[in-house]
Amino acid sequence: VLYQINNNTSLKLIHEAIIAEAGNDLLLANIERRIDGGRMLNCSREAVRRILNLAYAYRMTEDKRYAKKATELMLYICSYEDWNPEHFLDTAEMAFAISIGYDWIYGYLSKKQRKTIAEAVRQKAITAATDEDNNWFSRSRTNWNQVCNSSLTWAALAFWEHFPQEAERTIEKNLETISLAFNCYSKDGCYLEGPDYWEYGSMYQSLMIEALESVYGHD
């Protein structure tokens, strides 16, 4: 991978930018749980940004400072009382952040840390999604369906070893209900909710497909 990066100007610029940003993230305090207007989405998106940067930097450089910081942040987030399931996008993006971080720094984590993180994801995301008051997104034809189903699929795949039956049920339901979101696209691909949500929903949809193909060899 580094050979490809070093021989592609665009990839090299992106790689260097992520490493630099991860370096800055090493100096930041933990993300405090903050509800603003009924939402915690800013916290979740900051978690996605930081954890992806740090976990990527660790995998590409093997510098344990990045893994240590990512671990501290993930455990801190897992100690939250919840991930605001009443606005499930908050929960979904947080679950995605924790899941991809867990996957990318898995070898650095201790068994105890893995168990703590897995239990938090199970309670705060997988179980929370079974509450009918929270999971209306599974009946939606909007970006909520794509983002929430995709993030929960990542969580189910990443933590399968800890709760296989719940993970399997989650993935089966997600595969069943994600098809509703395909109706967001018209015959020519124009998105029901406009270009911003087109990008948002389609990005997470693509991440779900990639995760399924990575594990199963197909989507």
With tokens 């719940």, the residue in question is 166
Interior angle at CA 73, CA 70 and CA 77, nearest 5: 135
Distances (CA, A) of 147 to 5, 169, 200, 208: 29, 18, 8, 9
Give bridge partners of residue 185 from the DSSP assignment: 191
| pLDDT by 10s per residue, the chain, length 219 | 888 999 999 999 999 999 999 999 999 999 999 999 999 999 999 999 999 999 999 999 999 999 999 999 999 999 999 999 999 999 999 999 999 999 999 999 999 999 999 999 999 999 999 999 999 999 999 999 999 999 999 999 999 999 999 999 999 999 999 989 887 787 777 888 889 999 999 999 999 999 999 999 998
Q: What is the pLDDT of residue 189?
A: 75
Q: What is the pLDDT of residue 171?
A: 97
Distant-in-sequence, close-in-space partners of 174: CB < 8 Å, separation ≥ 6: 138, 149, 150, 152, 153, 156, 208
Q: What is the pLDDT of residue 53?
A: 98
Q: What is the pLDDT of residue 185?
A: 84
Cβ pair 131, 152 in contact under 8 A: no
What is the value of pTM for the model shown? 0.95
The rounded distance, in Å, linking the Cα atoms of 65 and 63 is 6
Of 158, 149, 99, give the one whose Cα is nearest residue 129.
149
Cβ pair 50, 40 in contact under 8 A: no
Q: What is the pLDDT of residue 191?
A: 87
